Structure 1
Amino acid sequence: MQQNGDGKFSFKFENTGKEPLIIQNVRSSCGCTIAKRPTAPILPGESSEINVKYDTRRIGRFHKNITVTSNADNKSVVLHIKGEVVAKPKEEVPVKKVNKGFTPVAG
Structure 2
Amino acid sequence: MLEIILIIYYSKKIGALALDKGESKGKWVTIMIISWFLAEILGAVVGLMLLGQQNIYLALLVGYGFAFGSYYLIRNALSKKPDIAGYDQMIDEIGSGDQEQ
Scaled by the length of structure 1, the TM-score of the pair is: 0.25
Instruction: Give the structure with the higher percent helix.
Output: 2
Rg (Cα) greater in structure: 1
Q: Please, what TM-score do these two structures have when normalized by structure 2? A: 0.26
* Structure with the bigger percentage of strand: 1
